[in-house]
Amino acid sequence: MARTLAHFTITESGDDYLLHIEDEAGETIEITATYDQLDLLVEAIDAHLDEDAEEMDEVEE
- State pTM to two decimals: 0.73
Q: How many domains does the chain have?
A: 1
- Non-local (6+) Cβ contacts of 10 within 8 A are 17, 18, 19, 20, 38
- Domain span at residue 31? 5-60
What pLDDT was estimated at residue 55?
73
For residue 24, count CB atoms less than 10 angstroms from its CB and return exposed for 0-12, middle for 13-18, buried for 19 or more: exposed
Distance CA 47, CA 49 (A): 6
- Spell out the per-residue pLDDT of the chain, length 61, in tens: 899 999 999 999 999 999 999 999 999 999 999 999 999 999 999 999 998 877 777 666 6
